[in-house]
């Protein structure tokens, strides 16, 4: 999932304008689906700036002019790929956040949704982890409103966990959201660039590590430090 490192993308941010979608008379949903699938493959392998509409049309087995019946230009295509992919993720995320499961399980499920969504397709991962981030304007236009809602889902689960006593009372949800998202994002980027078959960690490992911290079981960091200083 694309994000901006320079501006706050938490709930207080104003959502960007939604990408307007053209619905031509006599539109063929299957043809549109093929164009979007071809766009993901072409953007992911060739790069957004290097890709050409003609290449996308050829991969989708349609005439170049047909692409323009459904999408205004490359930016519009990229925006619709992001918008529709993220909407599918958010629909599943809303369902997970409404469950009655403990907060830790909900967090794990939401992070797993993130990891599985990006980690299931290297072409899609390249689009989200690399191509969308090459232009601050693209990030601003296409990612903020969807990411804001994803962050809200995480923050709401964290607040519910604090209220129920499952998480510590002085936990800062906004910071925790950044840590969760940043860790998942880095895991996915490392996987994509390394060429490894799968990411270094799954959602259970990631969330479990963050919830438990780095201290040994039953030990606080202070106790561990005292033990290191104790004369042998």
Task: Tell me what the mean pLDDT of segment 96-105 comes to.
Answer: 94
- Residue bearing the bigger pLDDT, 21 or 133: 133
The pLDDT score that the predictor gives to residue 145 is: 73
Alpha-helical regions (H) of the chain = 29-46, 53-60, 64-70, 74-97, 103-119, 122-129, 136-142, 144-164, 173-194, 203-212, 221-229
Superfamily holding 22-72: Homeodomain-like (1.10.10.60)
Q: Check pLDDT > 50 for residue 7.
A: no
- The pTM of the full predicted model, rounded to 2 decimals, is 0.79
The CA distances from residue 142 to 17, 18, 86, 196, in Å, are: 8, 8, 10, 29
List, for residues 176-223, the tens digit of each pLDDT value. 999 999 999 999 999 999 989 889 999 999 999 999 888 776 654 454
Q: Check pLDDT > 50 for residue 9.
A: no
Q: Which of 12-21, 41-50, 148-157, 174-183 has the lowest mean pLDDT?
A: 12-21
The pLDDT score that the predictor gives to residue 176 is: 96
Task: Tell me what the mean pLDDT of segment 18-35 comes to.
Answer: 70
The pLDDT score that the predictor gives to residue 213 is: 87
**Burial code of 50-66, b = ≥16 C-beta within 10 A, e = fewer?**
ebebebbbebbebeeeb
Domain over 75-213 is classified CATH 1.10.357.10: yes
The pLDDT score that the predictor gives to residue 27 is: 76
Per-domain residue ranges for the chain?
22-72, 75-213
The pLDDT score that the predictor gives to residue 139 is: 72
The pLDDT score that the predictor gives to residue 17 is: 38
């Amino acid at each position: 999932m694309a994000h901006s490192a320079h501006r706050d993308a938490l709930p207080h941010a104003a959502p960007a304008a939604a990408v307007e979608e053209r619905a031509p008379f006599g539109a063929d949903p299957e043809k549109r689906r093929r164009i979007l699938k071809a766009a993901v493959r072409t953007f992911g392998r060739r790069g957004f700036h290097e890709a050409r509409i003609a290449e996308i049309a050829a991969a989708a087995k349609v005439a170049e002019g047909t692409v323009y019946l459904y999408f205004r230009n490359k930016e519009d295509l990229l925006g619709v790929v992001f918008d529709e992919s993220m909407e599918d993720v958010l629909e599943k995320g809303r369902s997970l956040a409404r469950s009655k499961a403990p907060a830790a399980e909900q967090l794990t499920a939401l992070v797993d949704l993130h990891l599985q969504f990006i980690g299931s397709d290297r072409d899609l991962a390249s689009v989200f982890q690399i191509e969308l981030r090459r232009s601050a304007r693209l990030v601003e236009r296409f990612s903020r409103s969807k990411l804001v809602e994803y962050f809200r889902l995480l923050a709401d689960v964290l607040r519910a966990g604090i209220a129920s006593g499952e998480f510590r009372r002085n936990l800062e949800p906004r910071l925790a959201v950044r840590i969760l998202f940043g860790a998942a994002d880095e895991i996915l980027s490392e996987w994509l660039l390394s060429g490894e078959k799968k990411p270094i960690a799954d959602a259970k490992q990631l969330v479990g590590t963050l919830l438990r911290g780095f201290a040994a079981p039953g030990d606080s960091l202070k106790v561990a430090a005292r033990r290191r200083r104790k004369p042998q």
